[in-house]
Structures are given as C-alpha cells and as structure tokens.
C-alpha cells in the first residue's frame, strides 16, 4: 500500500475563514476615522458596556492588547515585588511573563493532559507565604477546573486571575469564563475567536480592582472624584504604572460589531467542531479536546482547535510522522502546542532589569530560581496538535477531512517503517 493517503479533494471554500469581516465592520471603522475620533473614548465606552453585559461582569476596561490587560490585572489584584504567581507552564508568554515587570516570580505548575489547563492537583504544594495569585488560562478554549482552583485560592487567601485570551464565550458549568476569578484579562487580537483587530479587555466585579486597573494605565480616566480608594486619590490623572494602555477606537469599533455577531457565529463553529469530533470518535490516535457533553461547559469559539494525540494507539508513531502524513493529504495540522515556559532561559538566568541576578528572583532571597520538573508539560508537544479549525458547518467537507485522518491511522504500520521520530529540540523553545 502507498504510504500516502488519498488527499482532500473538495474545495474547502470559506470553511476556515476567520475572522468574518463584513461591510458593517468597515462602516464602523470609517465612521471613527472620518470623525477623527481614534483617540477619543465614546466608542470604547460603548464597547466596554456591551462587553461587560455580554460576559456577565460589572466592569470592563478596554486595553490596547491582552498582554497589557493581564499585566494590569496582576497589579490590580495586588501582585508586588517579591510575590509569587502560580500559572500553568504550557501557555503563551503573556499569561505570566508580565509579573516580572512587577518584581514578582512566576511559579509553574503542571497541565492536565486532557484539558491542557492548569492541573489543580499540582497547585497546593507550590504555595508559599509569598504566593499572591493563581492565573488560570483556559487553553485553546477549554475551561479550567474553576471549582477546584477557586477552592484552593479561598483556602490560601489568594487572588485568581483568568486569562480568557483563548476562550471568549466558553462556558464553565453553564456560566461564562471570565466571571469566576477576581479579575480576567482577555485578548482581542485578530487571530482570536473574538477579535477587535488589536485589543484587550479587563473585567471584574470588584470596584477596587477596577479602580486600580484604571489608575495603572488609563490616566485620562483616572479622576479623583471617580475613585473611592483614598490611597489612589492623590495620584489622579497620572498613569501609576507609567503606561498608556487605552484601546484605539478603530479597534473598539470593530470589537463592537464582532461582539454583536459573535454568539450566532459561535453556534455554527460549535456545530462544525462537534461534528468533526463526533466523526473522529473511534479513530485510533486522536482524542477530542472538549469538555464532556453533559458538563454544561463549552469551547466558546474553539480558538486554534487542538486534538490530543495518543501515539500508543498507533504503535508509538511520532507526532511528526503522523502530522506529515496528514499534511501530505492536504489536512491543515501542526504538531505541538505552546511550549512549556519553565524550560526557557528567560525564566532561569536572564537579568532584564539589571538587578545583578536573574529577574525571576530579583526580589527573592535566593540567587537562582528553582526550575521545576513538569513531566506532563515537558512531553505535551508530542501529545497535542493543531487540528483543522472549522468555522462553517459544511458536513460533506468536514467528513472528507475525517476520512483523511482515518486513512492515516489505518496506514500507521507503513508510516512506522519510515518514522523519522520527532526532531532534536522538539518541544523546546
């Protein structure tokens, strides 16, 4: 039998097209542009109000990107020099890296191999007297185990920050993510499920956190008479962080239109991706990355959909050989996911601010950081991969891609003969 599987023949059309931009987005942008209102606040305020209502929070504050929203969230909940912040290691930089700029130390914990989110069983033994917060990032749209994370945080008097960059609109037990922690930071950059071009949002129900967030990088809105917190009042009008983080109004305009259509578009994405995984059921080598059907938890817009690769079901076939065969068949896949951050030198020895020792321990007594061993995170690159991101419910096309997966799995013994294995350095930055 030929090593190649027969390719995907039907034209996928717009099944992968995202974001969906229409004249409505264009008109909204032009309206701001023609008014010269790019740095004004009116559209942004409307967007914030709509976003807060949609997600189910009291306050929403718009940012120029998700990274700045997350850094602000950390400062607003009280992360300061010498503190520690716990997060998963398999995530994007912005989930945790901004804590270095506050003088805090990231403490990395394991991911759950099925949800790819923070493993609650690996948190408690990492908590010290310096721990201030836990960041739960809902990786690739999958909700973190918020019940367990909140229970641990309550027990140890810690703050919970949700990073909702991948999971706008995902439900956890029937309620939107971003409403469980003390504060959440959201990315709205153009590849995200919900996007505004470039942008971010911070949401919270806590007035004091909101006030701190405004004070950090939104000086034009940091007014003495709007702030209850007496410690903040003397600095009204100044950006306490030294940052200017407001959202560009061209983004606010796009964000409003995208939000208006988001739920309805997600219904179609959900139908498409659930059909894909239903059809994939029973094909050896792949397992769905989605919550159980009866859990009332959902994957929102299925950001950068991921599948769980199980090489043991295919005689140990490497993810490299598996994805190469799929790529040859015309299936858009990518081996691996975000790499574990705890392995990167940035978190070991890089002296960013000139403290004369690694920044990660700049305000700690020790000279070198403790680098944890996280075997699940370190092996995750060989066990998770990007799968096709279906945005439209076209069953015939989706079935065709599933056929290609099935044929690759059927051919695994042949593929094993020429398996190059995973390349050196695979899974490392």
- Among residues 377, 296, 304, which one has the least CA distance to residue 344? 377
In angstroms, the CA 79 to CA 88 distance is 17
Q: What angle do CA 394, 138, 190 make, to 5 degrees?
A: 60
Question: Considering the complex, what minimum distance in angstroms separates the CB of residue 188 from ligand PLP?
Answer: 7
Locate tokens 């930071």: which residue? 185
Take residue 194 and report the two structure tokens written for it: 């919900």
Residue 165 vs 194, nearer CB to ligand PLP: 165
Take residue 53 and report the two structure tokens written for it: 């209502």
Question: Considering the complex, what minimum distance in angstroms separates the CB of residue 193 from ligand PLP?
Answer: 11
Question: Considering the complex, what minimum distance in angstroms separates the CB of residue 168 from ligand PLP?
Answer: 11
Question: Considering the complex, what minimum distance in angstroms separates the CB of residue 237 from ligand PLP?
Answer: 26
* Footprint of ligand PLP (CB under 6 A): 65-67, 70, 91-92, 94-95, 137, 163, 165-166, 187, 189, 200
Residue 115 vs 137, nearer CB to ligand PLP: 137
In angstroms, the CA 283 to CA 313 distance is 9
Residue 166 vs 290, nearer CB to ligand PLP: 166
Residue 94 vs 269, nearer CB to ligand PLP: 94
Residue 140 vs 401, nearer CB to ligand PLP: 140
Question: Considering the complex, what minimum distance in angstroms separates the CB of residue 357 from ligand PLP?
Answer: 27
Question: Considering the complex, what minimum distance in angstroms separates the CB of residue 363 from ligand PLP?
Answer: 24
Question: Considering the complex, what minimum distance in angstroms separates the CB of residue 244 from ligand PLP?
Answer: 15
Please count the other Cβ atoms lying within 10 Å of the Cβ belonging to residue 13: 10
Residue 165 vs 266, nearer CB to ligand PLP: 165
- 274 and 289 Cβ atoms separated by less than 8 Å: no
Question: Considering the complex, what minimum distance in angstroms separates the CB of residue 281 from ligand PLP?
Answer: 28
Nearest residue to ligand PLP on Cβ basis: 66
Residue 188 vs 321, nearer CB to ligand PLP: 188
In angstroms, the CA 249 to CA 287 distance is 41
Residue 384 vs 397, nearer CB to ligand PLP: 384
């Amino acid at each position: 039998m030929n090593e190649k599987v027969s390719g995907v023949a039907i034209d996928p059309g717009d099944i992968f097209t995202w974001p969906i931009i229409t004249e409505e987005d264009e008109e909204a942008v032009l309206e701001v542009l023609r008014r010269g209102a790019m740095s004004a606040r009116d559209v942004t305020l409307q967007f914030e109000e709509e976003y807060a209502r949609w997600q189910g929070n009291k306050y929403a504050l718009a940012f120029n990107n998700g990274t700045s929203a997350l850094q602000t969230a950390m400062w607003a909940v009280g992360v300061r020099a010498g503190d520690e912040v716990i997060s998963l290691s398999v995530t994007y930089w912005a989930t945790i890296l901004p804590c270095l700029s506050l003088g805090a130390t990231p403490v990395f914990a394991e991911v759950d191999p099925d949800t790819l989110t923070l493993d609650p069983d690996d948190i408690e033994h990492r908590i010290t007297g310096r721990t201030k917060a836990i960041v739960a990032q809902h990786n690739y749209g999958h909700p973190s185990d918020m019940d367990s994370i909140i229970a641990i945080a309550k027990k140890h008097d810690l703050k919970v920050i949700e990073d909702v960059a991948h999971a706008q609109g995902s439900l956890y037990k029937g309620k939107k993510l971003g409403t469980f922690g003390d504060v959440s930071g959201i990315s709205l950059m153009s590849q995200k499920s919900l996007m505004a071009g470039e942008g971010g949002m911070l949401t919270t129900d806590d007035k004091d956190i909101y006030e701190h967030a405004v004070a950090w990088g939104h000086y034009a809105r940091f007014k003495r008479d709007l702030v209850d917190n007496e410690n903040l009042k003397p600095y009204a009008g100044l950006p306490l962080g030294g940052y200017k983080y407001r959202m560009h109004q061209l983004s606010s305009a796009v964000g409003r239109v995208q939000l208006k259509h988001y739920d309805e578009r997600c219904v179609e994405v959900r139908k498409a991706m659930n059909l894909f995984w239903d059809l994939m059921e029973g094909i050896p080598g792949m397992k769905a990355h989605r919550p159980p059907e009866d859990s009332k938890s959902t994957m929102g817009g299925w950001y950068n959909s991921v599948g769980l690769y199980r090489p043991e079901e295919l005689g140990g076939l490497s993810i490299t050989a598996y994805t190469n065969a799929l790529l040859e068949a015309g299936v858009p896949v990518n081996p691996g996911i975000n790499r574990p951050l705890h392995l990167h030198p940035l978190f070991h020895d890089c002296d960013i601010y000139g403290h004369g020792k690694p920044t990660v321990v700049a305000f700690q007594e020790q000279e070198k950081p403790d680098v944890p061993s996280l075997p699940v995170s370190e092996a995750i690159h060989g066990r998770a991969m990007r799968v096709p991101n279906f945005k439209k419910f076209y069953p015939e096309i989706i079935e065709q891609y599933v056929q290609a997966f099935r044929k690759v799995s059927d051919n695994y013994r042949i593929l094993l003969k020429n398996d190059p294995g995973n390349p050196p350095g695979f899974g490392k930055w």
